[in-house]
Structure 1
Amino acid sequence: MDGTDFLLGGVGSMAATLITNPLEVVKTRMQLQGELAAKGTYHKPYRSVVDAFITIAKNDGYAALQKGLAPSLCFQFILNSCRLGIYNTANEHGWTKQSNGNQSILKSAFWGAAGGFVGSALASPFFMLRTHLQSQAKAEIAVGYQHQHSGMISAMKDIFRKHGVQGLYRGVAVTMPRALLGSGGQLAAFGYTKDFLVRHPVSAQQSDTFVSTVAGAVGGTVMAITMTPPDVIATRLYNQGVDAKGRGIYYNGVVDCFVKILKAEGVAGLYKGFWPHYMRIGPHATLVLLFFDELKTMRRKYYEAK
């Protein structure tokens, strides 16, 4: 192991983001749709994942399906550089193993959560910028608070000028538990599944790519289930407008947001955007971990050839 694990984790996630970002746009719009409104009392421009794709492309143009790509790439690079780098370091030192050498779910979850905690805290400003840009739409299909940013850099400058560093890190309190749940569950499931398939191969010709793909898919499914409610809360907190003192106009914190969503929208409100989230996080998590493993294989072969 060397420091390039952190770099490879970030690069692998950026490659995956180029493919899955349109689903992130759809997820963000659907999570903001009907904010703090009871079911059936609000305009619903996005009725399903497919309908959302068509509606966005028709009204905002096809390019809108890649809205927020720049901050999304930055967020994923920082998050996964830390997350995968820390987890892989722990794994190669044997800190995720049981005394018999098998993968420990609890230890894997701990190191996965630790990496996600650090990465999400550092990358928090880019999560907010991504949410702002992805939610911007024409009036006919607009949902949630509409920020009038022209791009990532101008948005960052504007927020910093008005509210300082604290403004850029507004909402960080929810991204860390979000990452703890999602990253811990994903990497524990990934590590355990990978270890299981290596010890119990499904065929004599089982390839490393097959193992990584299956393990990544299992990890992604676990991640989507555990992470959707905190992801909805994070999207709401990051996207809300603020007053002159930088205080949210809808929610004053994680608990307040959680309670208000439950009261106004019910439990279903915490799972808004689940399907685009599931459809994105499964392939995204699979691709990130697959690319990460493939990049590590390429690195190993490079060193062996020297």
Structure 2
Amino acid sequence: MDFLMSGLAACGACVFTNPLEVVKTRMQLQGELRAPGTYQRHYRNVFHAFITIGKVDGLAALQKGLAPALLYQFLMNGIRLGTYGLAEAGGYLHTAEGTLSPVRSAASGALAGMMGAYLGSPIYMVKTHLQAQAASEIAVGHQYKHQIFPPQSWKVALVAAMVSGIAVVLAMTPFDVASTRLYNQPTDAQGKGLVYRGILDALLQTARTEGIFGMYKGIGASYFRLGPHTVLSLFFWDQLRSLYYTYTK
């Protein structure tokens, strides 16, 4: 669970910060190995870069490389924080007397960070290539022509659904947990719940007794259900609509 929660939390943040990563990548590649004043500055500052990218490449370009960025964040932070959490839970960070050891803590953090960075490095490279892709008039650095999925591919819809699903499950899982428990609670002869008075009471009781993570039980199953469910719903809707119009003409 430590791996999953750490990875999903980082992915949720990545959805909102990826545009800044695109801007950072392009500004760092601008004028590579060229003396100041000898090249055209397409991006004068972070705000100018946002406007330029949105105007020339389109607003969608501000989320370039989002798919590998999410995978990188999930792997790196899931491994880094999850491994450190396991070390802490196993008691490896404490001395024989039970006190926290700064040396062991630092060593465990460094080892966990190295593992996450090493395993995530290939994905980070792909992310950088995609984020650097730009129209010729504002291109900086070497332009790799990677294409993860062909246009109109069902895989594009699946990735989009999985990406948007991060924000959805983070926002909705506590209410989903409360809803499940309200439906499943025992009732009296009049059908009134014996455990929870309502959704707010269910949320409060869960948070007080089980902590914040108790409100996110089943988040992994919710996330991996949401993306395929969305894609399949759209697929069947499109097929049924096509059949309807075919036989009603």
1:139 equivalent in structure 2: 136
TM-score (norm 1): 0.47
Q: What code does the residue aligned with 1:49 have? A: V
Q: Distance in 2 between matches of 1:21 and 1:148?
A: 20
**Alignment correspondent of 2:46:** 49
**Cα offset, 1:152, TM superposition:** 6.3
Instruction: Please give the alpha-carbon distance, in whole angstroms, between the structure 2 residues aligned to 1:149 and 1:122.
Output: 21
Gap regions ≥5 residues in structure 2: 152-209, 219-249
Q: Which consecutive unaligned segments of at least 5 residues does structure 1 have?
A: 155-294
After superposition, the CA RMSD in angstroms is: 2.7
Structure of greater relative contact order (alpha carbons < 8 Å, 6+ residues apart): 1
- Counterpart for residue 13 of structure 2: 16
Name the amino acid aligned to 2:147. Answer: S
* Aligned residue number for residue 147 of structure 2: 150
Q: CA deviation at 1:81?
A: 1.4
Which position in structure 1 is the counterpart of 2:168? none
Residue 32 in 1 paired to residue 45 in 2? no
Q: Deviations over 1:159-199 (max 9, x none)?
A: xxxxxxxxxxxxxxxxxxxxxxxxxxxxxxxxxxxxxxxxx
Specify the alignment match of 2:213 in structure 1. 298
Tell me which structure has the larger Cα radius of gyration. 2
Distance 2:39 2:139 in 1: 12
Measure, in 1, the Cα distance between the counterparts of 2:31 and 2:69: 24
Paired residues of 1:70 and 1:152 also in contact (CA < 8 A): no
C-alpha displacement of 1:84 = 0.6
How many angstroms apart in 1 are the aligned matches of 2:92 and 2:128?
A: 35
Q: CA deviation at 1:104?
A: 4.4
Query: 1:94 & 1:108 partners in 2: Cα distance?
Result: 11
In structure 2, the residue matched to 1:74 is 71
**Cα shift readout 1:208-231 (whole Å, capped 9, x = no counterpart):** xxxxxxxxxxxxxxxxxxxxxxxx
Please give the alpha-carbon distance, in whole angstroms, between the structure 2 residues aligned to 1:82 and 1:133: 24
Give the structure 2 partner of residue 233 of structure 1.
none
Correspondence for 2:122 among 117, 121, 125: 125
Amino acid at match of 1:48: N
Range that drifts further, 145-154 or 114-123: 145-154
Is residue 6 of structure 1 aligned with residue 8 of structure 2?
no
Displacement, 1:99?
6.6
Deviation at 1:46, TM superposition (A): 1.0
- After superposition, the Cα gap between the structure-2 partners of 1:108 and 1:48, relative to the gap in structure 1 and judged at 3 Å, is farther
State how many pairs are aligned: 160
Alpha-carbon separation, structure 2, partners of 1:300 and 1:106: 34
Which position in structure 1 is the counterpart of 2:86? 89
Instruction: Kindly state the Cα deviation for residue 96 of structure 1 after the two structures are TM-superposed.
Output: 3.0
CA contact (8 A) 1:74 1:126 kept: yes
